[in-house]
Amino acid sequence: MELDNTTYNDLSIFQAEEEFSIFHKLNFTRTVEGREWLLKFFRNPFSDLRQIQETQHIIRTIYNNLNDWPLTITNGTVMVIERFYDSNIDAMPGANFLNALTYKVFHAADFSLVRYSLTHFADFVRGMHQLIDLFENNNAPVLIRSYLHRAKDLMNKKQIQELRQLPAGTKFNLTQTIYFGAFVRDHFKSPVFELINIYGRFDAWYSMALSTQRFNLSFPEFVVQDQPLIDAKQLYHILLPTPVPYDVQMSKESNFVFLTGANMAGKSTFIKAVGSAIFLAQLGMGVPATNMRLTIFDGLLSNINVVDNIIKGESYFFNEVQRIRNTIMKINDGRKWLVLIDELFKGTNVQDAMKCSFTVIQGLIKIKSALFILSTHLYEIGEELKREGAHIF
């Protein structure tokens, strides 16, 4: 699904003040790698039904196994492994007692680092094997099985199997430190970084599943049809602590919702709630609603937080007009779009705003491949819009 940076900002998917973003609220990843994978997912919502349903299946599967999720892999574990390979550790000799003792005496700092790092290597491979065991006898989605099959192959080394079978918290003796340390240093760098990447993807999926549980989200149903559709019951904005839920119904026959009302009546919140729910749905995540049916949208565009540009000499009104112009040009392609507009033409006087708004809305309503939600204080144009087929709230 296509979104531009303006829409990401308007919907608070990402924010400069991160704690006020949807991404921050739904981010339960345990590693930096997991956070990077979650960012990739958020920056690339799907437009393909198969991919959406596949991700829904993955999240449901992990959701059903959250109580058994391995917690031995932490960000600290991954950081120690990465720093181990960044350190200039001297080569280790053969793993016998005399060699190990000599290495400890003459390379004390390296020996200590290797022994400390091995506890984290052991935690990591144990955690990966717990993931494999968790889903091996499960009717898991193809993607889960394929990544875990690859992980199993990468760890199918005698030394790694021995390492993971040691009890958690084992203090490595002299020969064990040299034996395992030499192997992970010289033969396991490439496999372990691939394993970290695999775990990062699972960490992101885990975050999406845990969000579904924590916030009681429901998986939407996608309808395959040529005309756009949104049918949601008790939909609300996920960032609000005490939200007011709405029922939303939009289709080709009622493709325009016109919102009027006083300041702080909830118009902007409603617009953003619908937009963010569509976004989450096309990530394959659950949505903040009791149930929701919708078609796949090819794009999502907003016109909410327009600003002027002093450096370029562009006024607020100029940028409003430019944004509307670009929106109209973009959505005239026959694809399914959701367009969200808050306070159209608020950068000019009331009379001009009414004339411009009515002209623009008349044109937008005719684009039946798109759905529109627009708010304004200009309630006077509401009666005219009813005759054009808009729903007035």
Token pair listed for 268: 């902007």
Residues 82, 140, single domain; the answer is: yes
Residue type, 302: S
**What's the rounded Cα separation, in Å, for the pair 92 and 104?**
10
DSSP strand pairing (337-342 vs 256-259): unpaired
Map tokens 């979104």 to a residue.
3
Residues 227, 208, single domain; the answer is: no
Q: In this predicted structure, what is the pLDDT of residue 335? A: 93
Is residue 3 in a domain? no
DSSP strand pairing (299-303 vs 337-342): parallel
Q: Give the count of domains, the chain.
A: 2
Residue 262 in contact with residue 389, Cβ under 8 Å?
no
| Mean pLDDT by groups of 10 residues along the chain of 393 residues | 92 86 96 98 97 97 95 95 93 87 91 94 96 86 95 96 92 93 94 98 98 97 95 96 93 85 75 97 98 97 63 55 81 92 67 71 84 79 63 54
Strand locations in 110-254 (E): 221-222, 230-235, 246-250
Query: Which of 193, 214, 235 lies at the terminal end of a domain, its last residue?
Result: 214
Query: Which of 214, 249, 276 lies at the terminal end of a domain, its last residue?
Result: 214
Is residue 180 in a domain? yes
**What's the rounded Cα separation, in Å, for the pair 203 and 43?**
17
User: What's the Cα-to-Cα distance from 124 to each of 116, 119, 163, 382, rounded to whole Å?
Assistant: 13, 9, 10, 61
Q: In this predicted structure, what is the pLDDT of residue 310? A: 40
Query: Which of 195, 214, 233 lies at the terminal end of a domain, its last residue?
Result: 214
> Which residue, 291, 289, 293, 294, is CA-closest to 235?
289
Residue 56 in contact with residue 239, Cβ under 8 Å?
no
Map tokens 């004339």 to a residue.
355
Q: In this predicted structure, what is the pLDDT of residue 336? A: 95
Domain range holding 277?
221-392
**Phi, then psi, of 299 in degrees rounded to 5:** -160, 160
User: In this structure, how many other beta carbons lie within 10 angstroms of the beta carbon of residue 387?
Assistant: 7
Crossing angle between the packed helical segments 174-187 and 158-165, to the nearest 10 degrees: 130
Is residue 377 in a domain? yes
Is residue 92 in a domain? yes
Dihedral sign for Cα atoms in the order 283, 285, 286, 288: negative
Residues 260, 387, single domain; the answer is: yes
CATH number assigned to the domain comprising residue 49: 1.10.1420
| Whole-prediction pTM | 0.90
Is residue 1 in a domain? no
Distance of CA 165 to the CA centre of its chain: 35
Q: In this predicted structure, what is the pLDDT of residue 18? A: 77
Map tokens 């602590």 to a residue.
241
Q: In this predicted structure, what is the pLDDT of residue 391? A: 59
Is residue 226 in a domain? yes
Residues 250, 328, single domain; the answer is: yes
